[in-house]
Amino acid sequence: MAALRPVLMVIDDDPLITDTLHFVLSKHFEVCVAESYTQLKSLLQQLDGLPALALVDLGLPPSPHTPEEGFKVISALLAHSPTIKIHVLSGQSDDANVKRALTLGAVDFIAKPCDVEKLKDMLLQSLKVQDVELNEIKAEQEFDGLLGDSLPMQALRMQITQFADSPFPVLIEGESGSGKELVAGS
């Protein structure tokens, strides 16, 4: 059985762009296209899982000449899926729009027109970053905030497990800010 492809949401009202993106990117991603904020909302309800990535145009109906709908889409996507990596792909690339999109939580801003192969590489790179972040979140949840998987960290986790149920007091030493309270809470 083939591995499931990550879901990529493309929110753009230009069929030429969405068709091109779908054609090029569907080899690597499960591409879902929405032409508006309203379509996106119903599409998100139909999805089984959470989308991994999104490409968002700022100029969307009902007012495609202003960026407000695109900003609304960015906020809605992050509210629906906090780990999603959003890339803005828009012709409305003045500094104020770029800054606002990044402030809202987009990871990148690509001005139209763009090189689709470079875009594909950026999206694949975002997936790698997302995987690392998700693994760090899992590790942090498992060990109450202790990050890292180096040999010293593995040894520390083994010691924590070994002494956690000890009936005797355990002295935890370390420099200020090294995580003694995290170890004590584990």
Same-domain status, 81 and 17:
yes
Residue type at 4? L
Domain edge (last residue) among 140, 159, 174: 140
**DSSP string of the chain?**
-PPPPPEEEEE-S-HHHHHHHHHHHTTTSEEEEESSHHHHHHHHHH-SS--SEEEE-S--TT-TTSSHHHHHHHHHHHHH-TT-EEEEEES---HHHHHHHHHHT-SEEEESS--HHHHHHHHHHHHHHHHHHHHHHHHHHHTTT----SHHHHHHHHHHHHHTT-SS-------TTSSHHHHHH-
Range of the domain at 63: 7-140
Q: To which residue do tokens 């689709």 refer?
A: 116
Q: Is residue 2 part of a domain?
A: no
Q: Is residue 37 part of a domain?
A: yes
Same-domain status, 171 and 93:
no
pLDDT at 1: 39
pTM, entire model: 0.73
Enter the tokens of residue 161: 């497990």
Q: Is residue 64 part of a domain?
A: yes
What averages of pLDDT result for each successive group of 10 residues across the chain (186 residues)?
78 95 94 95 90 95 92 93 93 93 94 91 93 77 69 81 81 85 79
Same-domain status, 74 and 94:
yes
Same-domain status, 63 and 75:
yes
Same-domain status, 67 and 152:
no
Same-domain status, 122 and 154:
no
Write the CATH number for 94: 3.40.50.2300
* Number of domain units in the chain: 2
